[in-house]
Structure 1
Amino acid sequence: MKNNMEDFFRDKRQEFDAVEPNIGHFERFQAKLNKEKTEPKKKGGTPWYVLAIAASVLLFFGYWMGNYNQSTSIEQGIELAEVSPQMEETQNFYVATIQKEINEIKLKKTEANQKIIDDAFIQLELLETNYRKLTLELKESNADKRVIYAMINNFQSRLQVLQNLMDRLEEFEELAPQENRV
């Protein structure tokens, strides 16, 4: 096949050479060649292997930082829900009830009752801190029933603080309109 093509072009050479290049074509071509030789080649960007190395270093650094943070962070305890399905239901009930009470209190919040609400939330923060300590104790004690009862009691105490706060807010609302009338 190759010989056939070569023979074809050799025989038809006269027909292909019908058109001459423009005047100065060879000089322009030579100038372009010389220009490419004198100009330094521009790199097309960062080589792929440099990007691959950088990505590998970033992945390694991220993995290391994740493990480092995990080992040095404050030790996490065991939540009540991790003990058993019944305890999970208990925790979910108390958390949902507490959140509902907090939302209702936030709706009743005014400038006049701000101090009462702030005091109650300080008590809640103390109970929450105590609960975090109890989760650590639960982890160390391998689900000791005394710790579990203390955690449930903590939930009950938080709920009691919120219910007392709601009672005080209702009393405050009843007294506030009477004071304005006098």
Structure 2
Amino acid sequence: MNNRLETFVKENRKDFDVFEPSAGLWAKIEQELDGKKEKKSIKLYLWMSAAASLVVIFGLVWLYAGRTQNQDIEIADVNAAAAQKEVHFTNLITEKRDSLAIFAAANPDLYKKFTADLKKLDEDYERLKSELPSTPNQLFVVKAMVKNRELQLNLLRQQLMIINQVDDYKKVNQI
């Protein structure tokens, strides 16, 4: 079979040589190839830029969602019992501060000293609260926050007791 094909090609070689491509054919093919390369690179560039934009957008959304989610952590999310204690202490602290503010006019120097101590404890509480979303041991931080509120309440009780003693002393010495 191979022999017959070779024989046929040798006998009809002149017939095949008649159909040679024109000289401008290769130039046309090169132009078309060049045009197609440019079009493909533009399309590829557009697709890559769109994909990069989507990656950036999804990344920003992910970062934003992660930050807002972490900052919404409350004490109750970590430990419900500790949250109840913290609310109870906070309510008592508010009452005691109101009582302390009543005595502020009578003893302004003493009130300034007392508020300085409370301000320090408040700053510590806020620092703990800001650390809560990012700390690996959230239960430990929550316990520290509740302990801070308990210390504030005890400090206010002592301050009110001191103010009452000062007022009693003033009343006794006034007579």
TM bucket normalised to smaller: 0.5 to 0.7
Give the aligned partner of residue 96 of structure 2. 101
Match of 2:64 in 1: none
CA distance in 2, matches of 1:85, 1:105: 30
Q: Is the CA contact (8 Å cut-off) linking 2:78 and 2:139 kept in structure 1? A: no
Structure 1 residue 78, shift from structure 2 partner:
4.0
Aligned length: 106
Higher helix content, 1 or 2: 2
CA distance in 1 between partners of 2:174 and 2:110 (Å): 19
Q: How does 1:106-125 map to 2 (within 5 A)?
A: 106-111=101-106, 113-125=107-119
Q: Contact 1:134 / 1:151 at 8 angstroms: preserved in 2?
A: yes
Shift of residue 135 of structure 1? 1.1
Quote the residue 1:167 is aligned against. Answer: 161
Unaligned runs of 5+ in 2: 1-69
CA RMSD of aligned residues (A): 2.2
Equivalent-residue separation in structure 1 for 2:137 and 2:74 (angstroms): 10
Please name the residue that 1:128 is paired with. 122
Sequence identity (%):
18
- TM-superposed CA distance for 1:96, in Å, is 0.4
CA deviations 1:84-137 (Å, max 9, x no partner) are 4323312210110100111122223333x1111221111111111111111122
What is the Cα deviation at residue 141 of structure 1?
1.5
Question: How many Å separate the matches in 1 of 2:148 and 2:164?
Answer: 24
1:17-96 superposed matches below 5 A = 78-96=73-91
Give TM-score, length-normalised by structure 2. Answer: 0.54
- Give the distance between the partners of 2:110 and 2:71, measured in 1 at CA: 32
Q: Deviations over 1:11-60 (max 9, x none)?
A: xxxxxxxxxxxxxxxxxxxxxxxxxxxxxxxxxxxxxxxxxxxxxxxxxx
Distance of 2:114 and 2:73 partners within structure 1: 26
Structure having the higher Rg = 2
- Report the equivalent of 1:141: 135
Gaps of 5+ in 1: 1-74
Question: What's the TM-score once normalised by structure 1's chain length?
Answer: 0.52
8 A contact 2:82–2:146 mirrored in 1: no
